[in-house]
Structure 1
Amino acid sequence: MGGMGTALAADGTRIAYQLEGEGSPLVLLAGQANSHRWWDPVREDFGGRRTITLDWRGTGDSDRPDVVYSTEGFADDVIAVLDDAGIEDADVYGTSMGGRVAQWVAAKYPERVRRLVLGCTSPGKKHGYERGQEIRRALAQADQAGRDSILLDLMYTPSWLATHPGPYYVLGDSTMPTYARGRHLVASNNHDAWDELPKIKSPTLILHGADDLFSPAANAELLASRIPDARAHVIPGARHAYSHEYQAIASQLVRDFLATPH
């Protein structure tokens, strides 16, 4: 069963969300400056479940207020979506900035999160392992084609790109205004859930690509050491978009984890 809805956040911002399928609910949270389309290549891997995605404020069909965004605030938006959809609790799977948001969802609203999957993410700049300055400078360039080329190299291996001409769903929402992209960047860069991670009560699986330079793989074990009931799995050869390029491996790991009795 599919459908779309609009939740009202605490500040009045309208958050668009999408529902597909039936069964146990699974929330899928996208990366920075991306809409729900981030999940298009792999959403069907979770058939037999009711998947819930949303367009972050500033993206897709959601409102785009020019105000301060934060990963903690995005987490509140996720809860507004669950409330609007009438979902009491759900499994939550977030990748990249979505993984940062998922940390807050699980820490602030433990009764709403059954199991937690954190993909290619970090506890934040104060304690996490951050990408190098060279990558930061390259991604800050004004030329969009140049940025996209660098991003694709960070997301996928050259051999995969050579045989997969696109479209690519990880380069950001092209309809976003410039100010909203900036708001997303600041929100992700300012993320710091370190003190909250030990409060997470959900069984947690942490996934990461071994060759991820966008969010270094050392973050996986760091998160696993900080979250009480967590284990990490690093996928050899994978870069930041492990969930897509290594879809068969990653989606199976997630399905197995979510199906395991606790």
Structure 2
Amino acid sequence: MTRYAMSGDVSVAYQTMGDGPINIIAIPGIVSHVEFMHEMPGYTAFLQRLSKFSRVITFDKRGQGLSDKISGAPTLDERMDDVRAVLDSVGVQRAALLGFSEGCAMSAVFAASYPERVSHLVLFGAFVRYTELFPDADPQLVVQERMKYWGTGALMREVMASRASDPEAVAKFAKFERLSASPGAMKALQLLNLQIDVSDILPTVRTPTLVLHRTNDALVPVQKGRDFAAHIPDAAYTEYPGSDHAFWSGDVEALLGDIEEFIIGHRETESADLERILATVMFTDIVDSTRRAAEMGDQNWRRLLDEHDRLARLMIERHRGNLIKSTGDGILATFDGPGRAVRCALAFSAAARQMGLPLRSGLHTGEIEVRGRDIGGIAVHAASRVMANSAPDEVLVSRVVSDLVAGAGLRFDQRGAHEFKGLPGRWDLFAASA
């Protein structure tokens, strides 16, 4: 059932699903219609899964869908006012924000401005500046050209690429576009978005943050999501296979599980056959990769990354590990023995240094969840946070790892106790050396 919240003189349409105890408010992307979105394949099922452990709140920003139409486009301040109005109308003082695409920037600004009202920040398909989506063209001309096709479903090729060859699905998406906003309103919103840059705001976010992106996102290149996460202190970052920009489309099981675990700390709704094992998780990351890529140029940087990936596979196989995936400028791997994991990290770091690629490495041992070819669980998040604290050419491990390899001929130097956003307690970290 759709209800309305008053944000000043504007009526904002919203819906709720589930009964808590956690509250999640979904911040829409550039297109929304709280009722017709349920016609999109997978959308309702996605919300229903979230509603098993939370109350999910969805809304249309002013000027779109079932909310009041306005003159021009809503500013960032007005969009934040609408979020507060909806939360107040539902009677929610504090909620997790699930931002999508265009809504990610506003979600981050809201969390920085009203930290007392935001428990967690989950962002999917994020970008720092709208202008970055048009690197080889005049953004204003691109916006004007796109509006010629507004209402035809053309946007579906980028938002739900996996279904773009289905004529029925395209026709439904075309109706979604038309119901969401008129061409003039959509043009005004995009032209306003071209002026927004939140890069200076993101470092002030102190809310536990999880940034999610699909590796081959057809609308927002994956590097934009990586850059967004890099701007927020201690933000966790996860990539998924696929090209769909819409969070509810494609393979969403791992995505939903990660959101649930990040917000409530565990997965109550996971499938019964999910395999849990003890493993040592290793994350590595190339230091200052964005700057180096800009200096070298795309072609030379790609060749160097290919050599980095080849070296990673060789080192992991040599130490009997399992390469889970490449993270673009780093890798995620698991090992059944912490000693081999530490030695692999040290060897990989030394070899990469000879190539002129300084690495940061982080390791933690704990229970992981195996989901097909991917993994999840608190141990994965912990290893990522350990790596984030590593210095260039340093292999940093948690106390669990250092304790388990006692007597293995490895040396560990204390790096102090740290607090990891979103994870309980203080974590003692150690720098490993052979």
TM-score scaled by structure 1? 0.85
Distance 1:139 1:47, change over 3 A: farther
Structure number with bigger Rg: 2
The CA distance in 2 between the partners of 1:83 and 1:234, in whole Å, is: 33
Cα contact 2:2–2:13 (8 A) shared by 1:
yes
Cα contact 1:210–1:239 (8 A) shared by 2:
no
Cα contact 1:28–1:94 (8 A) shared by 2:
yes
Matching residue within 112, 124, 148 for 1:142:
148
Tell me if 1:108 matches 2:113. Answer: yes
Tell me if 1:20 matches 2:17. Answer: yes
Structure 2 counterpart SS, 1:223 = helix
Tell me if 1:180 matches 2:193. Answer: no
CA drift of 1:209 comes to: 1.4
CA drift of 1:5 comes to: 2.8
CA drift of 1:89 comes to: 0.3
CA deviations on 1:152-194 (whole Å, 9 max, x unpaired) are 2212345x44579434499535252333222321333332211
Higher strand share: 2
Distance 1:247 1:171, change over 3 A: farther
Distance 1:139 1:40, change over 3 A: farther
Aligned counterparts, 1:55-204, within 5 A: 55-125=60-130, 129-133=132-136, 136=142, 140-144=146-150, 148-149=153-154, 151-158=155-162, 160-162=163-165, 165-166=168-169, 167-168=172-173, 172-174=177-179, 176-204=181-209
Q: Which residue is 2:51 aligned to?
A: 47
CA deviations on 1:195-238 (whole Å, 9 max, x unpaired) are 11122111111111111242111122212211113111111233
Percentage of matched positions with identical amino acids: 24
The CA distance in 2 between the partners of 1:250 and 1:169, in whole Å, is: 26
CA drift of 1:241 comes to: 2.0
Distance 1:210 1:60, change over 3 A: same
The CA distance in 2 between the partners of 1:22 and 1:164, in whole Å, is: 37
The CA distance in 2 between the partners of 1:156 and 1:138, in whole Å, is: 22
- Flag the structure with more relative contact order, 1 or 2, with Cα contacts below 8 A and sequence separation at least 6: 1
Q: Which residue is 1:7 aligned to?
A: 5
Cα contact 1:34–1:173 (8 A) shared by 2:
no
Tell me if 1:259 matches 2:257. Answer: no
Aligned length: 254
Cα contact 1:72–1:104 (8 A) shared by 2:
no
The CA distance in 1 between the partners of 2:10 and 2:158, in whole Å, is: 32
CA deviations on 1:84-110 (whole Å, 9 max, x unpaired) are 221000011011112122112111111
Structure 2: segments with no counterpart, 5+ residues: 38-42, 266-421, 424-434
CA drift of 1:14 comes to: 1.3
Counterpart amino acid of residue 96 in structure 1: S
Structure 2 counterpart SS, 1:42 = helix
The CA distance in 2 between the partners of 1:92 and 1:195, in whole Å, is: 20
Distance 1:210 1:179, change over 3 A: same
